[in-house]
């Protein structure tokens, strides 16, 4: 899986936003059927957690998550099927959570353990081929949208973190095997 550049990301997102509702809904329905764990990362607890801070930002999270799914689907094809996908997602989320916690000194943890988690975070992010241009675009969209209403700013950090988790998860999903192109 190659790293997309900014122009490719913007082009794919533009295509997705111009797509008919039928096409987008079909893509999301397929994601829900084949990858219910990933689908819940979009429409489940993460969205609800953001909504508990600001509903507008939760709606933005869902919209941008659809952009993420569209970009991966159109750039890299259908995601590979995974046995016990929901368990796979939960295990990946637990690993990503521990790695992210290691990046902050606010969470107490053994120094050696923290160092190992931080090293693993970098290694696994590289292995998952995290799409940096996509993350940059998502962050800019979150900041721009939050700037229009002060109340939204309280949810910026959580929204960006959960979008990162989704992009990392999608990268790991697509890295499990080489999916077939569309």
Question: How many whole angstroms separate alpha carbon 126 and alpha carbon 123?
Answer: 5
Question: Are the beta carbons of 134 and 74 closer than 8 angstroms?
Answer: no
Question: Are the beta carbons of 120 and 99 closer than 8 angstroms?
Answer: yes
Within a domain: 122:
yes
Within a domain: 180:
no
Question: Which pLDDT score, from 0 to 100, does residue 97 have?
Answer: 73
Nearest to 147 by CA among 67, 61, 66, 57: 57
Within a domain: 73:
yes
Q: Which domain holds residue 87?
A: 6-175
User: What is the radius of gyration, based on Cα positions, of the chain?
Assistant: 16
Q: What is the DSSP string of 81-146?
A: P-TTHHHHHHHHHHHHHHHHHHT-TTS---HHHHHHHHHHHHHHHHHTT--HHHHHHHHHHHHHHH
Question: How many whole angstroms separate alpha carbon 153 and alpha carbon 151?
Answer: 6
Element (H, E) at 20: none
Question: Are the beta carbons of 118 and 103 closer than 8 angstroms?
Answer: yes
Question: Which pLDDT score, from 0 to 100, does residue 125 have?
Answer: 61
| All residues at 6 or more sequence positions from 95 whose CB lies less than 8 Å from its CB, including other chains | 120, 124
Whether 103 has a pLDDT exceeding 60, the answer reads no
pTM: 0.83
Question: Which pLDDT score, from 0 to 100, does residue 93 have?
Answer: 84
Q: What's the start-to-end Cα distance of the chain, in Å? A: 14
| Structural domain total, the chain | 1
Any idea what DSSP says for residue 79? Answer: P
Question: Which pLDDT score, from 0 to 100, does residue 18 have?
Answer: 96
Within a domain: 45:
yes
Within a domain: 1:
no
Question: Which pLDDT score, from 0 to 100, does residue 51 have?
Answer: 96
Whether 126 has a pLDDT exceeding 50, the answer reads yes
Q: What is the mean pLDDT of the chain?
A: 86
Question: How many whole angstroms separate alpha carbon 167 and alpha carbon 9?
Answer: 13
Within a domain: 11:
yes
Within a domain: 182:
no
Within a domain: 62:
yes
């Amino acid at each position: 899986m190659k790293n997309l550049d900014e122009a490719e990301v913007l082009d794919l997102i533009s295509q997705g936003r111009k797509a008919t509702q039928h096409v987008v809904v079909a893509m999301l329905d397929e994601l829900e059927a084949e990858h219910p764990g990933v689908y819940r990362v979009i429409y489940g607890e993460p969205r609800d957690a953001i909504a508990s801070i600001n509903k507008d930002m939760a709606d933005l999270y869902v919209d941008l998550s659809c952009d993420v799914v569209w970009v991966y689907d159109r750039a890299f094809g259908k995601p590979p099927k995974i046995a016990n996908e929901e368990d796979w997602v939960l295990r990946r989320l637990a690993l990503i959570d521990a790695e992210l916690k290691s990046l902050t000194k606010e969470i107490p943890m053994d120094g050696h353990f923290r160092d190992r988690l931080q090293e693993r975070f970098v290694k696994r992010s590289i292995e998952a081929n995290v799409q940096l241009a996509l993350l940059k675009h998502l962050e800019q969209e979150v900041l721009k949208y939050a700037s229009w209403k002060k109340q939204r700013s309280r949810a910026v950090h959580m929204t960006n973190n959960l979008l990162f988790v989704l992009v990392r998860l999608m990268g790991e999903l697509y890295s499990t095997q080489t999916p077939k192109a569309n």
